[in-house]
Amino acid sequence: MDLQGYMSGAIRRIMEKAYRNVLGNPREAKTVFRLQQIFLKSESRRKSVAKETGIDVPPFLICSISTECNLSCKGCYARANGIADDPGKSQRPTLTPEQWRDIFSEAASLGINFALLAGGEPMMRKDILEKVAEVEDMIFPIFTNGTLIGPAYIAFLKEHLNLIPVISIEGAEHGTDTRRGAGIYRRAMMSVESLHAEKLFFGVSITVTTENFALVTSDEYVDHLRELGCKLIIYVEYVPTEPGTEDLAFGDADLEQMEAVQAHQRERYHDVIIISFPGDEKHMGGCLAAGRGFFHIGPDGSAEPCPFSPYSDSNVLSLGVKGALQSPLFQRLREVHLVGGEHSGGCALWEHREEVEQMLKQ
Model pLDDT for residues 197-254, shown as the tens digit of each residue = 999 999 999 999 999 999 999 999 999 999 999 999 999 988 887 777 888 888 888 8
Q: Can you give the pTM of this predicted structure?
A: 0.93
Residue 276's pLDDT is 86
Model pLDDT for residues 288-325, shown as the tens digit of each residue = 899 999 999 999 999 999 988 889 999 999 999 999 99
Is the pLDDT at 281 greater than 80, yes or no?
Answer: no
Taking residues 143-172, what's their average pLDDT?
96
Question: Edge to edge, what strands does the sheet with 296-297 contain?
Answer: 273-277, 232-237, 203-208, 163-169, 140-144, 114-118, 60-64, 296-297, 303-304
pLDDT band at 283 (very low <50, low <70, confident <90, very high): low
pLDDT band at 96 (very low <50, low <70, confident <90, very high): very high
Taking residues 74-80, what's their average pLDDT?
83
Is the pLDDT at 1 greater than 70, yes or no?
Answer: no
The rounded Cα 227 to chain-centroid distance in angstroms is 24
Q: Among 70-79, 242-251, 266-275, 300-309, which stretch is predicted with the lowest mean pLDDT?
A: 242-251
Q: Closest Cα to residue 62, out of 304, 323, 240?
A: 304
Domain ranges of the chain: 3-361
| 8 Å CB contact between 349 and 287 | yes
pLDDT band at 3 (very low <50, low <70, confident <90, very high): confident
Query: How would DSSP label each residue in 181-231?
Result: -TTHHHHHHHHHHHHHHTT---EEEEEE-TTTHHHHTSHHHHHHHHHTT--
| 8 Å CB contact between 314 and 295 | no
Mean pLDDT estimate for the chain: 91
Taking residues 83-100, what's their average pLDDT?
92
Residue 341's pLDDT is 63
Model pLDDT for residues 179-193, shown as the tens digit of each residue = 999 999 999 999 999
Amino acid 294 reads: F
Whether domain 3-361 has CATH 3.90.110.10: the reply is no
